[in-house]
Every structure is written in structure tokens, then in C-alpha cells.
Amino acid sequence: MKLAMIIHNPGAGDQEHSKEKLIQLISSEGYDCRYFSTKEDEWKTIDPETDLVIVAGGDGTVGKVVRILVQQGLNEMIPVALLPVGTANNIANTLGISGELETIIEAWKPGLIKKFDLGLLKQEGKEDLFLEGVGFGLFPKLIKAMKKIDDVPDTADESLELALTTLLDIVETAKSRYCKLELDGSDQSGDYLLFEIMNAHSIGPNLKLAPQADPGDGRFDAVWIHEEERQKLVEYLQHRLNKEEAASPFHSLSCRRVHLEWAGAQLHLDDALEKKDSPPLKAEIELLPGMISFLIPAKPSAI
């Protein structure tokens, strides 16, 4: 019997996914289950004899688990399976994992293994891993604004709608900033409202800014929005708020290495906000290919 380590964020999303229910569903597929809540610290020590790490949570929980696997040198030994119960679930959506938990778990056998690249952000002697992306401009402002909201919506759909509405307000008044930028040695410097180095195809409130992104292709997708494209972004967000299909109309370029000097002082690393005391913010970004293996259901939904 294979040993499965369940790492569960019981506060993720807006649905009830109890410890007992998760153990029942996963045990029924022939796994010997060990359950850990992210509310306790025990999950941070991963047994190297584990055959499968199962993450029941959102993007933030996935990121924490992946970083722990890398820190403990287990990222190439133990595959990760996702049960997306968060709000945005950008990582799972990029991998084509969605649907009822029962259906996802049943489809693990037989499943597919997908290699997943990681990004490495280097700044001032500090190094940080990321899964979704790193960005400057609008999304750090959105993260900061959302942290100030006290009345948190009850459902994931309401939370995403609030984030989109908040971002739309930010877009209408935000100032573009200069970024000295090199992508694989090519100069792409300019004034930007938004600049993102994306590994997943979506960021934030399910904004698919890089629909072509493949986190296992050994390349990032750099996406940027200039001042003159502000209205395009407003229209794109309005379509999303109206739940209308809207393709990303913005520039993108694939790359492996990035050097930048951003005139602002804030950046986001996945869903976390980071701030420097004073601009400019200088950073190097490089790709680490195939660092994580995800178990994909045999018939995932289309990416």
C-alpha cells in the first residue's frame, strides 16, 4: 500500500472539506493516509518514505509545500497531487486540474506525471522560489488593497469579483513606471503599468494573461502592459466581471533569464507582497527546469 501524506488547509475556499472526508476518499483508492493540517507545524517535516504528497488547498498552500520539498531535497523523489479547494487555484487550473474531489482522486489511477519548472528571484543577496510568477505595478497594488479589506466575502466567486472590481479601480488611477529590462539579453526597457514574469498561465483573480504558458516547457512568459494600453486592460477586466470570454490582448515574450531595475519599490512573488525601503528595485530572475513533479488526473480538463 502506498503512503500518502495529506496536507490540508482547512480554511481554504468556501466549501467543507473535512479531515474525515479527505481520508475516506483517498483511502478508498488504496492509499495509507497520514493527515496534516496547515494550522499545525508538523506538516513541515516530510517523511522521505512518502509515495505521494497530496495538497488540499489553494495556490498559497501549494507554494508552501513545494518550497518545503525543495528545502528538504525531496522535490525529485516525491510527486505532488493537487485537490484545488482554494479561491483562485491558478496552479491547478494551469495544470488542467478541476472538478469534484471524488472525480479528481479517482482519475489519479492511472495518472500522468507532469514536470513543473520553478522560478528563482535574486535580489540583494536574497533568493526566493516562485511557482506562478513575479510581477511589478498593478498586482502588488491589488494585493496591498485586498489586505486592507475587512469584510471578506463568503464565497470564492464573490472574492474573485471583489478582487476584479478592486483591480479595475486601481487601473483607472495607477501611474506607469520605468523599468530597465533585459529578457535573455534583449533590451525591453520602457514605461509599464504592469510587468509579469509568468510560469502559470493565470495570476491573481484568475486573469489568464499568458494563456499559452506551459510551466514545463523550460521558459517563462513575460507579459507587459504599457500606458497606452490602459483602456484595453479596463475593457478586459470589464469582460471578466461580466463573466464574458475575453482573450488576453497584451504583449508577451518567452524567456529564460531576466534582469530588471524597477522604478517602484513593490513586487509580488506568487501571492505574497514584498516591499523595498526605497526604489529602484533590482532583481535577477532565472528558470529552474523540471523541479517538481505533479500527478495529473488521467483525463484533466482542457488548459
- Mark 18-39 as b/e (b = at least 16 C-beta within 10 Å): eeeebbebbeeeebebbbbbbe
- pLDDT level of residue 245 (50, 70, 90 thresholds): confident
Q: Which helix (H) or strand (E) holds 20?
A: helix 19-27
Order across the sheet with 272-275: list the strands: 251-255, 220-225, 194-198, 133-137, 266-269, 272-275
Q: How is residue 127 written as a grid cell?
A: 533568493
Q: What's the average model confidence in pLDDT over 81-99?
A: 95
pLDDT at 156: 87
C-alpha 54/C-alpha 43 separation (Å) is 11
If one counts every other C-beta atom within 10 angstroms of the C-beta of residue 140, the result is 21
**Grid coordinates belonging to 96:** 488542467
Share of the chain above pLDDT 90, in %: 84
Enter the pTM of the model: 0.93
> Any residues with CB less than 8 A from the CB of 181 and at least 6 apart, and which?
187, 188, 189, 190, 195, 258, 259, 260, 261
- Separation between Cα atoms, residue 261 and residue 179, nearest integer Å: 6
Asked if pLDDT for residue 69 goes beyond 90, the answer is yes
Once rounded to an integer, what is the mean pLDDT over residues 248-265?
93
Residue 175 — very low, low, confident or very high, per pLDDT cuts 50/70/90? very high
Strand (E) or helix (H) holding 205: none
| Structural domains of the chain, ranges and CATH numbers in brackets | 2-117+292-296 (3.40.50.10330), 120-290 (2.60.200.40)
Q: Which helix (H) or strand (E) holds 214?
A: none
**212-225: per-residue pLDDT in tens?**
999 999 999 999 99
Residue with grid cell 517563462, as numbered in its chain = 220
pLDDT, average across residues 117-134: 95
Stronger pLDDT, 275 or 185, i.e. the higher one: 185
Phi and psi at residue 120, to the nearest 5°: -125, 120
Mean model confidence pLDDT for the chain = 93
Residue 186 falls in which region: left (phi positive, over 0), alpha (psi -120 to 50) or beta:
beta
Residues 143-182: b if buried by 16+ CB within 10 A, e if exposed: beebeeeeeeeeebeebbbbbbebbbebbeebebbebebb
Q: Is the pLDDT of residue 197 over 80?
A: yes
Peptide bond into 280 cis (omega under 30): yes
Of 11-15, 156-160, 229-233, 279-283, the one with minimum mean pLDDT is 11-15
* Cα 161 off chain centre by: 18
Q: Is the pLDDT of residue 299 over 90?
A: no
On the question of pLDDT at 131 being above 50, the answer is: yes
Q: What does the pLDDT read at residue 303?
A: 38
What are the cell numbers at 159? 472574492
The mean per-residue pLDDT over the stretch 21-49 comes to 96
Q: What is the pLDDT of residue 246?
A: 84
Among 184, 183, 169, 189, CA closest to 263: 189
More confidently predicted of 249 and 222: 222
Q: Assign 14 a pLDDT band (cuts: 50, 70, 90).
A: low
Strands 257-262, 281-296: pairing is antiparallel
pLDDT at site 302: 37
Residue 88 pLDDT greater than 70, yes or no: yes
Q: How far is CA 225 from CA 92, 133, 150, in A?
A: 25, 16, 30
pLDDT above 90 (res 275): no
Q: Quick one: pLDDT band at residue 70, thresholds 50, 70, 90?
A: very high
Which of the given ranges, 13-17, 31-35, 109-113, has the highest pLDDT on average?
31-35
Q: Tell me the CA end-to-end span of the chain in Å, nearest whole number.
A: 32
Q: Is the pLDDT of residue 32 over 60?
A: yes
